[in-house]
Amino acid sequence: MLERALRHVALNPTTPRIYTVAQSLAELGQRDESLQWARKMIGLAPDDPYILYGMVCILARLDEIDDAVRYFEQAVRRGFVQKEWIENDSDLEPIRGHPTYQAVVAALK
């Protein structure tokens, strides 16, 4: 998956599929590289709720809890409000116990 995503990004440097690169690197334990790609992703669309939510997933996987929660608040504020998805997304397990995460989810309709 990583190789395919890298090829795609090489051909389309402004694609949101940068998320796939960052996520794959996180899964492979390549923390610094994952964060570097995640920052590129946010730089392309800093207000896009889906890009912000992708950042949450990457940061949570990397145990960057406070940053993940901060991006989670932003993602919801910008329109990522799929409560059922949020409650069942395994990427968010590391932040579920955080009081801010719980407050934001409780406020969702």
Tell me, what amino acid is at 15? Answer: T
Residue type, 67: D
State the pTM of this model: 0.88
Backbone angles phi, psi at 28, to 5 degrees: -85, 0
Please tell me the predicted confidence (pLDDT) of residue 18. Answer: 83
As a CATH number, domain 2-107 is: 1.25.40.10
Q: What are 54-75's pLDDT values in tens digits?
A: 999 999 999 999 999 999 999 9
SS3 state at 31: helix
Question: Which tokens belong to 54?
Answer: 């992708």
Q: Is the pLDDT of residue 79 over 80?
A: yes
Place of tokens 């998956």: 1
Write down the pLDDT at residue 8. Answer: 73
Q: What is the mean pLDDT of residues 14-24?
A: 82
Instruction: Give 86's Cβ-side CA count (13 Å radius).
Output: 25
Q: What are phi and psi of 96, to 5 degrees?
A: -60, -30
Give residue-wise pLDDT tens across range 27-59.
999 999 999 999 999 998 899 999 999 999 999
**pLDDT above 90 (res 7):** no
92 has a pLDDT exceeding 90: yes
Domain boundaries, the chain: 2-107
Rounded to 10 deg, the angle between the 49-61 and 65-78 helix axes is 160
pLDDT for 4 equals: 80
